[in-house]
């Protein structure tokens, strides 16, 4: 009789960008006969998260839900942050005493716990005290992982701007220097902030994990993966195992957009900056101007607030001056949220103006949709670099991070939109990435082999 599969618990972090890859990973494991318990932290930050979780558990009843009810957040120390996502990581950190009894109570006993990278420093001490193997699921690119694990060594005891104020590059050990303009600004700041503290603490602690699983694949990130696994980036890093890109789950059946069905194949530019980018009203209007100037068809998700709850402003008011009426027939503007998996796989969609959150990038890879990259914050410039390098899209590096003021004018946006929608070379490149992505996770593919190897280790 076959031995039952190992029992593995997954602990995702907050925000759709972190939850989504964990859900896809959970399904990939379950398909390989792993018993999966998914630990969710409550309360969730956004409506999108709670809705996605309820769809998920009703679609995959064989994945066991387990709730971790967070303690009320005391204070975020001296590291001021208003970002609800970083505050949530902090709340999970402060609630870590609750994790040990929860993990020990699971039955059958666990073979491993897989945690989001933003929780490494919180969770690894707990799993160590239980002698439970701990794996990290890194939900961004390998390019970003090189910075994540080495940042604390680069910063050392000095602030990154101290000794080399004139230096424009960050030397990641073992790799090409990274322009400082690609580094998330809070990491370069001398003022304490939660992003910086968390990257330093988690980056250090990840060395003590048993393995780092990552939602990417060998063909597109060979150099970074090679440097990480050859010990060039940091000494003693556990093996980094590419197991992506995770196939979309298509569990959210509602909200399909009928308008797309009426548009010619490959004619529509999908515009979205992810679940946690609030764009200023001025920049929104400038972007609207750009889309209008481009003459291309577009489907645009507009968000003025960081957390994906209902935005307050009426769309007409946000866009200003009869925009919605003017673009009727050409463009569809929606507030807050669409079912992106459906949109991006729709045959009418031929381009994606994206912030380059790694899930959006992997969804574009999966569907061979060319990206016009406009990173807004965090890891997104590192990811945009990958997009451009692998021929999946174009990144106009001069475009600044999003922020309060207008950083890119409509005229410039319009020009680049026309460029991406008509660029045959990028279309071919994107189609090739799609083939490689599917091959990687298909039978015999590198990512599939990686996943099976890890499961074999858990079986022992
Ligand atoms: Br917005 C939006 N619909 O309208 P990323 C997002 N998504 O399904 P982020 C929708 O959320 P981080 C919408 O498909 C993707 O899987 C989208 O993740 C989905 O960016 C996910 O792309 C968003 O990684 O997160 O949200 O900025 O910064 O943590 O990467």
Q: How confident is the model at residue 309 (pLDDT cuts 50, 70, 90)?
A: very low
Q: In Å, how far are 333, 422, 428 from 259, measured between CA atoms?
A: 11, 22, 26
**Which of 12, 13, 17 has most ligand 1 atoms within 8 Å of its beta carbon, as the pocket-test mutant?**
17
Q: How confident is the model at residue 168 (pLDDT cuts 50, 70, 90)?
A: confident
The position carrying tokens 């200023």 is: 280
Q: Is the dihedral of CA 84, 90, 93, 94 positive or negative?
A: negative
Higher pLDDT, 195 or 126: 126
Distance 70 CA to ligand 1 centre (A): 24
Could you tell me the two tokens for 116? 């989001």
pLDDT at 194: 82
Q: Which phi and psi angles does 66 have, rounded to 5°? A: -140, 130
Q: Decide if pLDDT at 330 tops 50.
A: yes
Residues facing 214 on adjacent strands: 138, 242
Q: pLDDT, tens digit, for every residue of 370-393? A: 999 999 999 999 999 999 999 999
Q: Which of 116, 308, 379, 388 is catalytic?
A: 116
pLDDT at 157: 44
Q: How confident is the model at residue 361 (pLDDT cuts 50, 70, 90)?
A: very high
User: Is-contact 301 337, C-beta < 8 A?
Assistant: yes
Q: pLDDT, tens digit, for every residue of 65-93? A: 999 999 988 876 555 567 788 788 888 98
Nearest atom within ligand 1 for CA of residue 361: 22
Q: Decide if pLDDT at 161 tops 90.
A: no
Exposure of 366 in the CB half-sphere (CA atoms within 13 A): 24
Looking at the chain, the whole-number percentage of residues with pLDDT higher than 90 is 72
Could you tell me the two tokens for 320? 């200003």
Complex ipTM value: 0.98
Beta strand 169-170 pairing with 178-179? antiparallel
CA distance 160 to 440: 37
Residues facing 335 on adjacent strands: 302
- The separation between CA 339 and the C-alpha centre of its own chain, rounded to angstroms, equals 16
Distance 274 CA to ligand 1 centre (A): 4
The position carrying tokens 């390019």 is: 143
pLDDT at 79: 56
Distance 235 CA to ligand 1 centre (A): 33
Higher pLDDT, 434 or 75: 434
Residues facing 272 on adjacent strands: 354
User: Is-contact 327 333, C-beta < 8 A?
Assistant: yes
pTM, 2 dp: 0.94
- Mean pLDDT, rounded, of the chain: 91
Q: Which residues line ligand 1 (CB under 6 A)?
A: 15-18, 20, 272, 274-276, 301, 337-341, 357-360, 363, 378
Q: Is the dihedral of CA 70, 72, 74, 75 positive or negative?
A: positive
| Catalytic (active site) residue 116 | yes
Q: pLDDT, tens digit, for every residue of 389-415? A: 999 999 999 998 977 678 899 999 999
Three-state secondary structure call for residue 142: helix
Given 3-state DSSP classes, what are the helix, strand and coil percentages for the chain, each rounded to the nearest 5? 45, 15, 40
Three-state secondary structure call for residue 113: strand
């Amino acid at each position: 009789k076959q031995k039952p599969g190992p029992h593995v618990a997954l602990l995702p972090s907050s925000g759709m960008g972190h939850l989504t890859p964990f859900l896809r990973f959970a399904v990939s494991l379950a398909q390989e006969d792993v018993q999966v318990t998914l630990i969710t932290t409550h309360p969730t930050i956004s409506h999108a998260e709670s809705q996605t979780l309820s769809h998920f558990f009703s679609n995959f009843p064989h994945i066991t839900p387990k709730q971790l009810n967070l303690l009320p957040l005391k204070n975020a120390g001296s590291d001021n942050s208003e970002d609800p996502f970083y505050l949530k990581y902090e709340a999970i950190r402060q609630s870590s005493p609750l994790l040990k009894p929860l993990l020990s109570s699971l039955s059958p006993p666990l073979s491993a716990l897989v945690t989001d990278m933003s929780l490494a420093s919180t969770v690894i001490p707990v799993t160590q005290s239980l002698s439970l193997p701990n794996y990290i699921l890194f939900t961004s690119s390998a390019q970003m992982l090189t910075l994540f694990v080495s940042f604390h060594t680069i910063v050392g005891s000095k602030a990154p701007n101290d000794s080399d104020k004139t230096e424009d590059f960050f030397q990641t050990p073992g790799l090409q220097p990274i322009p400082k303009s690609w580094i998330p600004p809070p990491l370069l700041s001398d003022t304490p902030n939660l992003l910086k503290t968390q990257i330093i603490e988690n980056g250090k602690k990840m060395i003590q994990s048993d393995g780092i699983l990552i939602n990417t694949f060998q063909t597109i990130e060979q150099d970074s993966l090679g440097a990480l696994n050859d010990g060039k980036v940091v000494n003693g890093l556990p093996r980094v195992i590419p197991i992506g890109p995770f196939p979309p789950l298509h569990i959210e059946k509602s909200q399909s957009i009928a308008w797309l069905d009426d548009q010619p194949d490959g004619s529509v530019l999908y515009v979205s900056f992810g679940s946690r980018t609030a764009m200023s009203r001025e920049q929104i209007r400038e972007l609207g101007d750009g889309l209008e100037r481009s003459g291309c068809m577009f489907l645009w998700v507009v968000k003025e607030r960081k957390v994906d709850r209902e935005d307050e402003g009426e769309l007409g008011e946000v866009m200003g001056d009869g925009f919605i009426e003017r673009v009727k027939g050409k463009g569809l503007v929606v507030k807050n949220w669409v079912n992106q998996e459906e949109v991006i796989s729709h045959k009418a969609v031929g381009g994606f103006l994206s912030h380059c959150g790694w899930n959006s990038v992997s969804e574009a890879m999966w569907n061979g949709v060319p990206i016009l990259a406009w990173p807004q914050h965090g890891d997104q410039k590192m990811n945009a670099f990958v997009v451009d390098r692998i021929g999946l899209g174009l990144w106009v590096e001069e475009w600044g991070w999003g922020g309060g003021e207008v950083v890119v004018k409509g005229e410039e946006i319009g020009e680049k939109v026309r460029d991406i929608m008509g660029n045959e070379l990028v279309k071919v490149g994107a189609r090739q990435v799609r083939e490689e992505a599917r091959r990687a996770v298909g039978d015999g593919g590198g990512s599939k082999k990686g996943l099976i190897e890890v499961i074999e280790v858990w079986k022992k």
